[in-house]
């Protein structure tokens, strides 16, 4: 119910579209009454008053005029209803995109990307029928029958009474049957979903079946399971179709009752033919809007179901990016000496679906290299995310030269930091655009230079269209090592003073790895570096090692010192040596 109201509130953002949709629907439906009136006049004229074609010509022309108006209103109604849906869908999709951008990578990584696409694409599309058909039809299903009642009652109150009494029965019985079919579906849900999913399951396991020599024998099973699925589905359908049956039965029987009742009163001279015929023509039209609603109900409910996830996503709490003070903030320039301090910084993911950090107190100085070590789950990558401001501290302050980082916009902040991830995403565009991701106006020469620094020139030269070659999903496949060097090339291009490096954990072959290490060293020279290390040699070269455990800093200092201190760090180094041996 809550979602229903929220969906309806969206109508406000579409201006006068919705009222117009309803008005045109009403006009095109209301003209049916006029059309029936003209038709009964024509027939009465010819039938009982002996009029000729010439004499009813005027009426027929009028009839034609009404048809044209109905056609026009129908076209307008359909087009505007669709325009309404398109407007809302585009708006919602835009809101979802902006929201996900604000939630940031920490959020998208905690979700399945496929599910997010389903929400933003299929989910939003599912709202189409809700807005273009279901919602306007609710109003029409109330207003049009009322309009017809208003016309019929003064003419023939008995028929009016039949209409009035049967109308409420339709929603009543439909709800009753609907509940029964829901119960039946629920009862059979497990069986139905298992049988329904079995075919895909069998196809997915086909290779396994084939290796075990069982694939041919499964043909019989596929047929059997499918047959059981058919029987189970039919059991449910038998009840589901009852609701349409009830609707139809009520509508046709009351039309029949009206016809017989009107006929008899006509026979005894209590009613005129013209009025009787008019009422007969209107009888099916009285029930039509309700039947239309019945047909659209399911589509409407699908939309409401989809909206649950959409609104849930839109309501996710965002990291607080509030500017702390209105005071003048010194410009952000990491090319000059700086320090980054963490003052009791803690962070926890909202649903505990990531590693938290606890009261981190730390100072990073420009020009030095820092290396994070610790078991997986210790909070190393959470720490890098804080530095990138993909997340913000839950409590405590991260400050640059004593100024809260949140005083700077995300754009300013990230412009001066390079982030080299283990597995960079390659977008479905050219190699060129993948490298100069931050700015499309960077020259090709600069990109070539970055490729050279990342030792990727040889690879780029082998591509059929060089820099213009598409990469990613639909293009040339890059090996793991090449993809990592794309990340390096991006960083070379950016020339930021602070580099955050997530060392690859996966092993490449030894020669490739040596080459990669070489270009990495080039990148890190004379820059401030924070590295998540997976290699012992990286550790030895860094100025400071920070050992994290359970989100806290356990030890910190120069690698040699820590080794001599013979504490947790020394133990970690020793045990990793043993594990590999």
Partner 1 sequence: MKEIRQLLSFLRPFAKEVALSVLIGVATIGAGVGMLGTSAFLIASAALHPSIADLQVAIVGVRFFGISRSVFRYLERLVSHSVNLRVLTSLRVWLYEAAERVAPAGLQTERGGELLNRVMADLDTLENFYVRVVSPVLVAVVITAGMSLFLGGYFWPLGLILAAGMLLNGFILPGLSILLTRHSGARLQQARADLSANLLETFQGLADLQASGANERWLQKVEADSRKVGRLQLFYGVLTGFNDGMALLVLNLTLLAVLAAAIPQVSAGQMSGVSLAVVSLLTMAAFEATNTLPQAAQNLTASVASARRLFSLVRSQRVEAEPLPDLPEERLQAAERIEIRGLDFSYPGNPQVVLQHIDLTLQRGRITALVGPSGGGKTSLVNLLLRFWQPAAGTILLDGVDIRTFSEESTRRLFGVISQSSYLFAQTLRQNLRLAKPEATDKELMMVLQLAELEEWYQTLPEGLSTWLGEQGERMSGGERQRLAIARVLLQDTPFVLLDEPTANLDAETEKRLLATLKRVFADKGVLMITHRLAGLEMASDIEFIAGGQVSEKGDQNQLLAQKGAFARYWQLQKNQT
* Six-digit token string for 5: 């109201």
Q: How far apart are CA 228 and CA 221, in angstroms?
A: 10
Residues between 122 and 141 that touch partner 1 (CB under 8 A): 132
Q: Interface with partner 1 includes 168 (CB under 8 A)?
A: no
Are residues 198 and 225 in contact, defined by beta-carbon separation less than 8 angstroms?
yes
**Residue in 390, 408, 459, 492 binding partner 1, rule: CB under 8 A:** 390
Closer residue to partner 1, CB minimum distance, 121 or 172:
121
**Residue in 8, 165, 175, 212 binding partner 1, rule: CB under 8 A:** 212
Q: Least distance in Å: CB of 153 to partner 1?
A: 19
**Residue in 12, 16, 50, 320 binding partner 1, rule: CB under 8 A:** 50
Q: How far apart are CA 270 and CA 264, in angstroms?
A: 9
Closer residue to partner 1, CB minimum distance, 44 or 407:
44
Angle at 456 between CA 450 and CA 458, to 5 degrees: 125
Residue by residue, what is the 3-state secondary structure of 101-142?
HHHCHHHHHHCCHHHHHHHHHHHHHCHHHHHHHHHHHHHHHH
Residues between 91 and 120 that touch partner 1 (CB under 8 A): 93-94, 97-98, 100-101, 104-105, 108-109, 113-114, 116-117, 120
Q: How far apart are CA 106 and CA 386, in angstroms?
A: 10
**Residue in 421, 430, 453, 520 binding partner 1, rule: CB under 8 A:** 421
Alpha carbon of residue 136 to chain centroid = 25
Number of other residues whose CB lies within 10 A of the CB of residue 91: 14
Strands in 276-404 per DSSP E: 339-347, 357-365, 369-373, 395-400, 403-404
Are residues 325 and 407 in contact, defined by beta-carbon separation less than 8 angstroms?
yes
Closest CA to 375 of 167, 552, 163, 115: 552
Instruction: Give the interface segment with partner 1, choosing from 295-303, 350-358, 451-459, 529-537 (CB under 8 A).
Output: 529-537
Binding mask 429-448 for partner 1 (x = CB under 8 A): --------xx-x--------
Q: Interface with partner 1 includes 335 (CB under 8 A)?
A: no
Residues between 454 and 473 that touch partner 1 (CB under 8 A): 472-473
Q: Interface with partner 1 includes 186 (CB under 8 A)?
A: no
* Six-digit token string for 88: 């809302």
**Residue in 18, 347, 419, 448 binding partner 1, rule: CB under 8 A:** 419
Angle at 544 between CA 543 and CA 549, to 5 degrees: 155
Q: Interface with partner 1 includes 15 (CB under 8 A)?
A: no
Q: Interface with partner 1 includes 408 (CB under 8 A)?
A: no
Q: Least distance in Å: CB of 298 to partner 1?
A: 14
Q: Interface with partner 1 includes 353 (CB under 8 A)?
A: no
Residues between 225 and 284 that touch partner 1 (CB under 8 A): 226-227, 229-230, 233-234, 237-238, 241-242, 244-245, 248-249, 252-253, 255-257, 259-260, 262-264, 266-267, 269, 273, 276-277, 280-281, 284
Q: Interface with partner 1 includes 158 (CB under 8 A)?
A: no
Q: How far apart are CA 80 and CA 86, in angstroms?
A: 10
Instruction: Give the interface segment with partner 1, choosing from 9-17, 163-171, 195-203, 441-449 (CB under 8 A).
Output: 195-203
Q: Least distance in Å: CB of 539 to partner 1?
A: 7
Are residues 572 and 563 in contact, defined by beta-carbon separation less than 8 angstroms?
no
């Amino acid at each position: 119910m809550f979602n229903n109201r929220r969906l309806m509130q969206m109508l406000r953002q579409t201006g006068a579209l919705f009222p117009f949709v309803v008005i045109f629907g009403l006009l095109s439906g209301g003209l049916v009454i006029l059309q029936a009136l003209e038709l009964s006049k024509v027939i009465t004229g010819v039938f009982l008053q002996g009029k000729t074609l010439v004499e009813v010509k005027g009426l027929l022309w009028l009839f034609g005029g009404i048809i044209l108006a109905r056609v026009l209103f129908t076209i307008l109604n359909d087009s505007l209803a669709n325009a309404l849906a398109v407007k809302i869908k585009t708006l919602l999709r835009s809101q979802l995109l902006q929201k996900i951008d604000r939630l940031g990578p920490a959020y998208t990584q905690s979700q399945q990307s496929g599910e997010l696409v389903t929400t933003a694409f299929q989910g939003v599309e599912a709202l189409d029928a809700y807005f273009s058909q279901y919602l306007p039809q609710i109003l029409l299903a109330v207003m049009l029958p009322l309009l017809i009642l208003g016309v019929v009652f003064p003419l023939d109150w008995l028929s009016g009474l039949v209409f009035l009494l049967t109308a409420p029965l339709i929603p009543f019985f439909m709800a009753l049957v609907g509940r029964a079919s829901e119960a039946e579906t629920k009862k059979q849900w497990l069986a139905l979903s298992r049988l329904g999913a079995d075919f895909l399951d069998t196809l997915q396991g086909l290779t396994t079946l084939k290796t075990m020599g069982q694939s041919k024998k499964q043909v019989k099973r596929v047929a059997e399971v499918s047959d059981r699925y058919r029987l189970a589905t039919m059991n449910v359908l038998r009840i589901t179709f009852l609701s349409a049956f009830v609707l139809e039965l009520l509508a046709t029987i009351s039309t029949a009752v009206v016809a017989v009742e009107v006929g008899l009163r006509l026979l005894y001279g209590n009613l005129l033919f013209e009025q009787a015929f008019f009422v007969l023509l209107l009888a099916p039209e009285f029930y039509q809007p309700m039947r239309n609603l019945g047909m659209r109900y399911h589509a409407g409910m699908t939309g409401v179901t989809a909206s649950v996830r959409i609104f849930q996503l839109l309501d996710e709490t965002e990291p607080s990016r509030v500017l702390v003070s209105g005071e003048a903030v010194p410009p952000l320039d990491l090319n000059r000496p700086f320090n980054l301090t963490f003052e009791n910084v803690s962070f926890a993911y909202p649903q505990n679906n990531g590693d938290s950090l606890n009261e981190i107190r730390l100072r990073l100085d420009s020009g030095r290299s820092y290396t994070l070590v610790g078991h997986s789950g210790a909070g190393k990558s959470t720490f890098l995310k804080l530095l990138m401001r993909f997340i913000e501290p839950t409590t405590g302050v991260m400050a640059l030269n004593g100024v809260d980082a949140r005083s700077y916009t995300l754009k300013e902040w990230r412009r001066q930091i390079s982030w080299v991830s283990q597995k960079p995403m390659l977008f479905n565009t050219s190699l060129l655009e993948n490298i100069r991701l931050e700015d499309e106006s960077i020259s090709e020469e600069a990109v070539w230079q970055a490729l050279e620094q990342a030792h990727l020139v040889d690879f780029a030269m082998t591509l059929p269209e060089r820099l213009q070659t598409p990469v990613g999903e639909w293009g040339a496949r890059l090996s793991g090592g090449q993809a990592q060097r794309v990340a390096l090339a991006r960083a070379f291009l950016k020339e930021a003073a602070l580099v955050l490096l997530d060392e690859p954990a996966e092993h490449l072959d030894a020669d490739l790895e040596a080459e990669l290490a070489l270009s990495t060293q080039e990148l890190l020279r004379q820059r401030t570096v924070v590295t998540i290390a997976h290699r012992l040699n990286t550790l030895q070269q860094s100025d400071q090692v920070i050992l994290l455990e359970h989100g806290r800093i356990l030890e910190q200092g120069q690698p040699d010192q820590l080794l001599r201190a013979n504490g947790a760090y020394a133990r970690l180094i020793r045990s990793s040596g043993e594990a590999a041996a």
